[in-house]
Structure formats: C-alpha cells, structure tokens
Chain A
Amino acid sequence: MVWRFAHRWLGLVAGTLALVLSVTGMLLALDPLRNAIQAAPTARDMSVATLAQRVQASVPGAEEIRRQPSGAIVVYAFEDGQARALRVAPADGRVLGSYQPSLLPRWVKNLHRTLLLDDPGRVAAAVVALAMLALSVSGLVLLLRRMGGWRHLAGPVRGTLAQRLHVLAGRVVLAVLALSAAAALYMSAATFGLVQLDAAAEPEVASSPNGQASLPTGQLPLLQNLRVQDLRKLNVPAADDPADTWRIVTIQGQGWVDRYSGQTLAWQDATTAQRVHDWALLLHTGDGAWAWAVVLGAMGASIPLFWVTGVLLWWQARRNRPAIEGNSPLAQADSLIFVASESGSTWGFAQALHTALVAAGHRVRTTALEHWRVPPAARHVYVLAATYGEGQAPTHAARALDAIARQPVTSAQVAVLGFGDRQFPAFCAFAEALDQALLAQGWKPLLALERIHQQSAQEFARWGQRLAQALSQPLSLAYQPRLPRTAVLTLVARQDFVGGAGEPAAILRFALPGRDLPRFVAGDLLGIVPPGDQPVPRYYSLASGTRDGFVEICVRRMPGGVCSTYLHGLQPGDHAQAFIRPNPGFALHRSRQPVLLIGAGTGVAPLAGFIRGNVRRRSMHLYYGTRDPARDFYFGEELQAWQAEGRLADLHTTFSRTPDGGGYVQEALRRDATRVRDLLARGAIVRVCGSRPMAHGVTQVLDEILDGLGLSVARLKQRERYAEDLF
C-alpha cells in the first residue's frame, strides 16, 4: 500500500518535473557522441611530456592542455592578444579545429540542472533526482510483487497496453535510472559542499630561479612519467611570472613542478570523494563512454513514456473506483461488502451489489477489504476480490488475510466472489485463498465461492440469482459497465446457417465505419450494444482485422438472448452500436513460429480471422469441430480457399453428428498425437476458441501429448504460447 502510494504520488508530482530533465537530458546525451566522433586517437601510454612538447611546437602561447573524458585534447592559448581554444591531434600536435564545449546552447544544460532558477532550481533538480531514486526502488518492489518474485522477473507481462509498456520499460531502464539518479545526487551534494572533493589545502609552491633558463618540456620527469590517458589538465607556467610552476592534474591526483629544475615540488593524491565524483560524472553524463551515453539518452526517452503510461494507469484506477452511495454506519449495517481491487474495476460490481441490497431493504456498508471488521449486527458479509499477478492480493489488501485472522468470528454468513481472467494461471487465486481462510476460521458460508471471468456482467447476474435464492428474497444485480465510445456499424452482408443445435447462426459483415472505430485485429472483441434502456454489451470475437476492410463476427442465436436475437434481426443496411475491446492475450503476435488453432462451432471465427490475415504464409494448422457440414460448417468454403492460397497449411475437420464424422475435435487431436507433438516441439503457438467443455477436453488431450515433451498446457500458458477465448 505504502509503496504504491509513494510510487503513484512521487510519479505524478516529481515525474512532471522529471519530464523537463528527461528531454534536456536526452539532448545533452548528444554531446558525448559528438565528442567521441571528434576525439582523435591517442597512442596508448604516451607520456604527458611528449604531448606537451608537440602542443607547444604547434600552438604558440599554449597555456593549458586538457584531456576531455572522450580523449579529445583541447589547448587553451593566448597569442597576440587573442585567447583561443583549439582541438589538437595527440599523435602529432596538429591543430584540428577550434573547440566548442557543446553542440547545444548553454541554456539546455542549465535548464537540466537548475531549471534556470539558480540555487533553488538546483535544489529542485536534486529533489527530483531523489524522487527518481525512490521511484526506482518503489517501482522495483511493485514490479517484483506484480511478477511474483525475482524468479519471474523476466517472465511475460500481461495487462492493458499502458500496464505492459510501463512494466516492460521499467524492467529495462529501472537500474539505469537508479544509477543515474544516484550519480546526480552525489554531484548535487558536491555542488552544495556536502561532499568535500578536494584535499584540505593546496601547497604553497613556487619555482626557484637558478639563473638558468626553464627546462625544456620534454625533460620534466613528472610529465615523462604520467600517461596522457590519465591526464585531466596541464598548466604551462606563465611566461611573465618567474616563480610560476607547472601544474598537472590527473585521475590520480595533482602535482606542481619547478620550471627550472624540473623537480616535483608537491603531489597530492586525488581524494576518494573526487574519484567517486569522476565516476558519478561518467555515469550521469556518459561523457567518455559514448555507448553509455546512448543508453542514458534512451533512458531519457523512457521517462515521458513512464509518465504518460503512469498517469493513464492512475487515471484508469481512479475512474474505476466509484464513491459508494448510501453507505450505512458500520455498527448499524446488516450487510457488509468488502472489496479488494487492483485496478478499481471491482468497485463497480460492489456498487451494483450495494444498490441491489439496499433496494431489498438491507442496511449496507461497503469498504475496502483491509478495513475488515464485522460488528455483531452484521448478518451477511460479501467479499469481492480481484487477484493480482501470480495469485497475490491486490496491493491495498496485501495484509487483509492477517487482518481477518485477528478479528473474532461472528455468526454472520460469508460469500466470496472472485474476479479475474482465465488467461492467467492463477485465476481468482486470491479469492480462493480468502474463501479457504474464512471457512477454516469458522465463518459460515452463505454461498460457495464463485469466479467471474473478465468482468462478465452475465456471470455476475447469475451469481445474483443464486444469492437471491440464498437470501429468499428477490434481488436484481444490474452491473452497469462504463461503455466506451461506440461507433455505428452498417451491416453489408450476412451468411445464414441452420445451426447445429436448433438455433440458427449467421456470419455478419459490417462496413468499416472510418475513424470512429480504433484499429483492431482478428481475435479482438467486438462489443455490441443492443438497443434498450439499460444496455449490457455482449462481446463477439472478431473474424477480421482493420486491414481486411470490414468488421466480421459469427453469432449463434441464443434462446432468450437479447443481443444475439437483436443481431439476427439485422438486415443489410441496418445499423448497430459497437466498440472494440482489445484482447491482446489472444490476438496473434507476428513471429515465424507455427500456429496450432483449435476451435469448435462459432468459436472458429477468430481462428478464421487469423488465417485470413496470414498473408505471410506462416505455418497454420486448424483443428475444427462442428456438428454437421450441412448445418454449421461456418467459414467452410473460405477455409478451403485459404488452404489453396497457402494461408492455411492443413485443415482437420470433425463432424460430431454425422456418421464417421470423426467425433469431437479433441478426438482428432488425439488421433494426430504424433503430428501435434511435433508441432508443439517446434514451438507452436496455440489458440483455442469455443465452449468451456470443448476447451477442457482439448486441455486434457494436449496435456497427455505434452507430457512426452516435459511440458503442460499450464507451462505453455505461462510462456504465453497458449491462450483461450471461451464462452
């Protein structure tokens, strides 16, 4: 809770300022690249004396020689009243050109480190760096929680696009961000004098004239011993000051040399603080290590990405958490609803339950799960719990199990309702853990644990019916999902089928409505909003993508189904309200791995969409079960055409209601075990679409087949090679 809270607010507040630092930082990362390109090579172990000699030969009036971190040699000279800064080739002392410290105007750097506000700005920038460090640490903690520990850190990331981008980028740049922020803090500390970089005091030194001329540069022992690669700068003694000395600064320290005798007058080792500062400078600026500068620049680019996705995540969670209306005081409530929700979506269901119970005459109180307390007046306790990551509790309810264990058991009856997504291996695991803990503690059950898949309003309504029976009173649970913006689709064609089980089915093709509908691919879901006062959208798997130029679904009319009946009544030219719900876990990603498609009935629709879009002739294998080729062989002709075009490698059909039809689709898989095993051994991606019993049968058969490979369907799901779209 505290980590998430800190991460969220630091990100929103400091992250906004960090945008300025990231953009300027990205620009500043260009300088090390330019410097690396400009730097002329230095022979390894060349002495400073040699370099100084060459420089003095080619640059009259040279006063200071600096070696930049990139290796570039810069000479400052004063001649004929003119101050000059020149780049020099160390190999021969040749002047390469004049020296400009940066490609960029100075304000970019000043904006980066002072926000153009001088010292207050420096403090602000340092605070942002501290916040970035804290964000990295809290981000790591949240990342570990989400992924389920260090072992799973590199595992596949699920969730919405914003979530995945945030987590994927975080996984990559977290360490770089932390390192860069820590380096920035050290540099700030040095700037504000909190870290002392220099040795106590510089020694009092002067050259002692001995009546002879200055020693030639090449004969100075200290300069002969020091290497150019360690050089920071060398000051030539002033011509008009006989007592002036040579002064040389290297990575190791600094020394002063008598210009006449060549004696080293004093040497000070670099302090540890100075060496750490050198490293901090390298790590933060990348100057002298251009590849690192590229990494830093990429990190700079990632910060706006973090900020945008982070704000989106915060906004989504906020929007999804409704303020509960009509909450009763805790002591008077007879019904308590506790909510554990990661993204906030479960609160909408809580509100629906709350409203229904109030309408049925109950005094209801709804709170977050971590506030678990059951006063004696409470008769019924409802727990609505989502699951996070690999079966953990949502962050805010992380300690809920402890809190529940501390409170006494009352005579109230408990019902646990889990929310999750069957694509996750730990579907509703937290709700299960809660249910078991409550029962083990001695709470009496009101209803057995129920699991809601993908926020299904229908499953929730069915649970409401069971609840009404248990309470012996009428109850209508109307969960009203917030609908996205819909587009108006026009039906252009329909292909009717008698249907396998008494009810007809149809393939409906709508025209693309233009910009109103976001881009979609086969396997995404089309939400259809039937007309009515309280429309509840129904979702249909798409058999086409935007690229196909139309919107196509396959709909079986359900007995009493509001939406399917409505769709079946549509004639070409009629309109329907619809929106897209992405289904990224199911849609196919581009790769060369073979694809094993398994579907039954109308479940073939998204699979047909995959095959239709297979213009790259990826190896696709379809196992397709229906009842009767004359009644419900959806996409039959198209599939044969696509096979002829090479979009489909092979087609295996079974017809369960015709003699010698081959039975169910899982039986075909079992018969083809060798071929299927071979495909899976080659890394095939599996997509299953159809009814739950069919999917269950398929899982059993595939587990048998996979056993020989040391794999299982669960393992394939973990590796994102296996996904289901079930109804």
Chain B
Amino acid sequence: MSTRFLLTTVAAACALTLPSMAQSRPVTLSTTLKNYGGDGAYLAVYLTDTKGAYVRTLWVAGGKAKFYKHLADWNRLSASDGKRLQGVTGASVGAGRTLKVTAELADALIDAGYELRIDAAAEDMRDSPSEIRMPLSSAQAGKPQAGKQYIQSFTYQLP
C-alpha cells in the first residue's frame, strides 16, 4: 500500500455511565497505523485508573467477538463490564489508515493519574496488548506516541 489513506471515522462515544459527572468534554483520539502488511487491525481503546484497574472502554475497532481474546489485556480487564461494547464499536482499521474517535470524558478524569491504553492485534500476526499506554493529562495531550507493532502514532486533543 504505497498511498497513505486517511480514513476518518468520527464517532461520538456517547452516554457516559458515571452519573455524578457534571463537567465533561469531548476528547478526540487519533490513531494512525503503520503499514504492517496485514489484514485490518483490531483495536481496543480504554481507560485505566491510578491502580491500573479498568474504568471504561472508549472504542473497539473490529466486530468479531471471537477475536477479542487477542486484545488480551482489554479482554481480561473489561470482562466484568457487561456494557463494554455498547455504542463504541466500529470496523477494523486497515494498515496505514487513521482511526479518529471522540469520547466524552469527565474533567475529573484528566490530570488525575488515569491512563489511556490501546490493545492491538491482526490476523496471523502477533497480539500486542497495551501497544499504547499514555497518561491522560493536559501535558501529554497533542504529543504523539508510537506503538511497538501496529501503531505509527497516537495522539489525543483536549479542547
């Protein structure tokens, strides 16, 4: 794939589950994949707290449940979350393409030791749990980070 496609998937991850959140803002997450030479990648974007415990799933790219075990960390951590897929799923992301999603995040989560994580996997290639781990903070916002196997760069923008 010589041409680099820019696929923009804007999805409003809606309906926040925490009722006490008075203030929230839309955070735009942008993930560009490498040309890793494989089929579309499955990605799980999720949030963990200061202790590394699972908080919420922000986006899952890839619709076949039988492959979710390859997103090993997310699959394990989010196992008890019955609503982990609700309204936050889309197609798998092709090599070289960019996934852009927007999530409503409470102000209280920012600069509070929370971490954004991405698990990634593609067929016949290695699983890459926690391909990305990035603190959710004003300081990190806008700074790109690369993953090991699949992700060329990941950034998020706080409005």
- Name A's B-contacting residues (CB within 8 A): 63-64, 66, 76, 78, 83, 85, 101-102, 106, 110, 119, 190-193, 197-198, 201-205, 235, 238, 241, 243, 247
Check if B65 is an interface residue, CB within 8 A of chain A: yes
B69 A198 Cβ-Cβ under 8 A: yes
In the assembled complex, how far is the CB of residue A27 from the closest CB belonging to chain B, in whole angstroms?
A: 16
B66 A191 Cβ-Cβ under 8 A: yes
With a CB–CB cut-off of 8 A, which chain B residues contact A102?
Answer: 124
A238 B39 Cβ-Cβ under 8 A: no
With contact pairs A83-B149, A191-B64 given, residues A202 and B127 touching in the complex (Cβ less than 8 Å)? no
With a 10 A CB-CB cut-off, give which of A83, A102, A106 has the most chain B CB atoms: A83
What are 26 A-B pairs with beta-carbon distances under 8 A? A63-B126, A64-B126, A76-B126, A76-B149, A78-B148, A83-B126, A83-B149, A85-B125, A85-B126, A101-B125, A102-B124, A106-B38, A106-B39, A110-B39, A119-B63, A191-B64, A191-B66, A192-B64, A198-B66, A201-B80, A202-B69, A202-B72, A202-B75, A204-B77, A241-B130, A243-B52
Q: A76-B149, A119-B63 are in contact. List 17 more A-B contacts (CB 8 A).
A: A66-B126, A78-B148, A83-B149, A85-B125, A101-B38, A101-B124, A101-B125, A106-B39, A193-B65, A198-B69, A203-B76, A204-B76, A204-B79, A205-B76, A235-B127, A238-B130, A243-B52
A193 B75 Cβ-Cβ under 8 A: no
> Can you list, as one digit per residue, whether each of B40-71 has a CB less than 8 Å from chain A (1) or not (0)?
00000000000010000000000111100100
The answer for the CA separation of A78 and B131 in the assembled complex, in Å, is 11
B64 A193 Cβ-Cβ under 8 A: yes
With a CB–CB cut-off of 8 A, which chain A residues contact B64?
Answer: 191-193
In the assembled complex, how far is the CB of residue A126 from the closest CB belonging to chain B, in whole angstroms?
A: 14
The answer for the CA separation of A83 and B121 in the assembled complex, in Å, is 13
Q: Interface size (B, Cβ < 8 Å)?
A: 21
The answer for the CA separation of A110 and B123 in the assembled complex, in Å, is 11
| 4 tightest A-B CB contacts, nearest first | A76-B126, A101-B124, A201-B79, A202-B76
The answer for the CA separation of A204 and B148 in the assembled complex, in Å, is 25
With a CB–CB cut-off of 8 A, which chain B residues contact A83?
Answer: 126, 148-149
With contact pairs A78-B148, A83-B148, A102-B124 given, residues A197 and B39 touching in the complex (Cβ less than 8 Å)? no
With contact pairs A201-B79, A201-B80 given, residues A64 and B38 touching in the complex (Cβ less than 8 Å)? no
With a CB–CB cut-off of 8 A, which chain A residues contact B80?
Answer: 201
In the assembled complex, how far is the CB of residue B119 from the closest CB belonging to chain A, in whole angstroms?
A: 12
A202 B66 Cβ-Cβ under 8 A: no
- Name B's A-contacting residues (CB within 8 A): 38-39, 52, 63-66, 69, 72, 75-77, 79-80, 124-127, 130, 148-149
With a CB–CB cut-off of 8 A, which chain A residues contact B126?
Answer: 63-64, 66, 76, 83, 85
A235 B72 Cβ-Cβ under 8 A: yes
With a CB–CB cut-off of 8 A, which chain A residues contact B66?
Answer: 190-191, 193, 197-198
A202 B149 Cβ-Cβ under 8 A: no
When C-beta atoms are compared, the residue in chain B nearest to A68 turns out to be B124
When C-beta atoms are compared, the residue in chain A nearest to B126 turns out to be A76
A202 B79 Cβ-Cβ under 8 A: yes
In the assembled complex, how far is the CB of residue B142 from the closest CB belonging to chain A, in whole angstroms?
A: 22
The answer for the CA separation of A64 and B64 in the assembled complex, in Å, is 23
With a CB–CB cut-off of 8 A, which chain A residues contact B39?
Answer: 106, 110
With a CB–CB cut-off of 8 A, which chain A residues contact B72?
Answer: 202, 235, 247
With a CB–CB cut-off of 8 A, which chain B residues contact A101?
Answer: 38, 124-125
With a CB–CB cut-off of 8 A, which chain A residues contact B52?
Answer: 243
With a CB–CB cut-off of 8 A, which chain A residues contact B77?
Answer: 204
In the assembled complex, how far is the CB of residue A620 from the closest CB belonging to chain B, in whole angstroms?
A: 60
When C-beta atoms are compared, the residue in chain A nearest to B68 turns out to be A198
When C-beta atoms are compared, the residue in chain B nearest to A242 turns out to be B52
The answer for the CA separation of A110 and B124 in the assembled complex, in Å, is 13
With a CB–CB cut-off of 8 A, which chain A residues contact B65?
Answer: 193
With a CB–CB cut-off of 8 A, which chain B residues contact A205?
Answer: 76
When C-beta atoms are compared, the residue in chain A nearest to B127 turns out to be A64
The answer for the CA separation of A693 and B65 in the assembled complex, in Å, is 76
With a CB–CB cut-off of 8 A, which chain B residues contact A203?
Answer: 76
In the assembled complex, how far is the CB of residue A447 from the closest CB belonging to chain B, in whole angstroms?
A: 69
The answer for the CA separation of A85 and B75 in the assembled complex, in Å, is 24
With a CB–CB cut-off of 8 A, which chain B residues contact A241?
Answer: 130
The answer for the CA separation of A219 and B80 in the assembled complex, in Å, is 33
When C-beta atoms are compared, the residue in chain B nearest to A76 turns out to be B126
The answer for the CA separation of A204 and B75 in the assembled complex, in Å, is 10
When C-beta atoms are compared, the residue in chain A nearest to B146 turns out to be A81
The answer for the CA separation of A193 and B65 in the assembled complex, in Å, is 7
The answer for the CA separation of A183 and B72 in the assembled complex, in Å, is 27
With a CB–CB cut-off of 8 A, which chain B residues contact A192?
Answer: 64
When C-beta atoms are compared, the residue in chain B nearest to A201 turns out to be B79
The answer for the CA separation of A711 and B4 in the assembled complex, in Å, is 77
In the assembled complex, how far is the CB of residue B69 from the closest CB belonging to chain A, in whole angstroms?
A: 6
The answer for the CA separation of A241 and B64 in the assembled complex, in Å, is 28
With a CB–CB cut-off of 8 A, which chain B residues contact A78?
Answer: 148-149
With a CB–CB cut-off of 8 A, which chain B residues contact A193?
Answer: 64-66
With a CB–CB cut-off of 8 A, which chain B residues contact A191?
Answer: 64, 66
The answer for the CA separation of A271 and B126 in the assembled complex, in Å, is 23
When C-beta atoms are compared, the residue in chain B nearest to A192 turns out to be B64
When C-beta atoms are compared, the residue in chain B nearest to A82 turns out to be B148
When C-beta atoms are compared, the residue in chain B nearest to A204 turns out to be B76
With a 10 A CB-CB cut-off, give which of B63, B72, B127 has the most chain A CB atoms: B127
The answer for the CA separation of A191 and B38 in the assembled complex, in Å, is 19
With a CB–CB cut-off of 8 A, which chain A residues contact B125?
Answer: 85, 101
With a CB–CB cut-off of 8 A, which chain A residues contact B124?
Answer: 101-102
With a CB–CB cut-off of 8 A, which chain B residues contact A204?
Answer: 76-77, 79
When C-beta atoms are compared, the residue in chain B nearest to A249 turns out to be B69
The answer for the CA separation of A66 and B52 in the assembled complex, in Å, is 28
The answer for the CA separation of A63 and B121 in the assembled complex, in Å, is 14
With a CB–CB cut-off of 8 A, which chain A residues contact B79?
Answer: 201-202, 204
When C-beta atoms are compared, the residue in chain A nearest to B77 turns out to be A204
The answer for the CA separation of A369 and B7 in the assembled complex, in Å, is 64
The answer for the CA separation of A102 and B125 in the assembled complex, in Å, is 11
The answer for the CA separation of A204 and B51 in the assembled complex, in Å, is 14
The answer for the CA separation of A13 and B149 in the assembled complex, in Å, is 43
In the assembled complex, how far is the CB of residue A8 from the closest CB belonging to chain B, in whole angstroms?
A: 35
With a 10 A CB-CB cut-off, give which of B66, B72, B127, B148 has the most chain A CB atoms: B66
With a CB–CB cut-off of 8 A, which chain A residues contact B69?
Answer: 198, 202
The answer for the CA separation of A402 and B126 in the assembled complex, in Å, is 65
With a 10 A CB-CB cut-off, give which of A64, A202, A247 has the most chain B CB atoms: A202
In the assembled complex, how far is the CB of residue B93 from the closest CB belonging to chain A, in whole angstroms?
A: 14
The answer for the CA separation of A63 and B126 in the assembled complex, in Å, is 9
With a CB–CB cut-off of 8 A, which chain B residues contact A63?
Answer: 126
